[in-house]
């Protein structure tokens, strides 16, 4: 007769493969967290860039409006029809008013 002993099965919490599986999942979570962090930083940088760009564009339009007003005043002066008040376009509100 053959003496055969069967070892009892270990509970799942003591399974050595589960510890390896948990260690393998950790780097993936770490990389996912880093990727999310980089994405948030990129979105914040884009938000700051858009805000700065809108200020630069606003300043450029203000300069262009001033140039157009000066040119229109020169044309009116050359034509001999200078009004009593010089009209300019205000760069801050876009409204027209007397200076």
Write out pLDDT tens, residues 2-40: 565 666 655 555 565 665 555 555 666 888 989 999 999
pLDDT tens by residue, 48-86: 999 999 999 999 999 999 999 999 999 999 888 655 455
Cα–Cα separations (whole angstroms), residue 61 to 3, 21, 94:
95, 60, 10
Confidence (pTM): 0.42
Q: Which two tokens stand for residue 11?
A: 């509970």
């Amino acid at each position: 007769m053959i003496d055969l002993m069967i070892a009892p099965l270990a509970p799942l919490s003591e399974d050595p493969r589960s510890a390896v599986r948990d260690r393998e999942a950790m780097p993936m979570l770490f990389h996912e967290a880093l990727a999310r962090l980089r994405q948030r930083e990129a979105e914040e940088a884009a938000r700051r860039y858009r805000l700065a760009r809108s200020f630069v564009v606003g300043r450029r339009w203000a300069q262009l409006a001033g140039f157009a007003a000066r040119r229109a005043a020169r044309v009116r002066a050359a034509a001999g029809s200078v009004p009593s008040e010089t009209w300019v376009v205000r760069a801050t509100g876009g409204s027209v008013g007397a200076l």
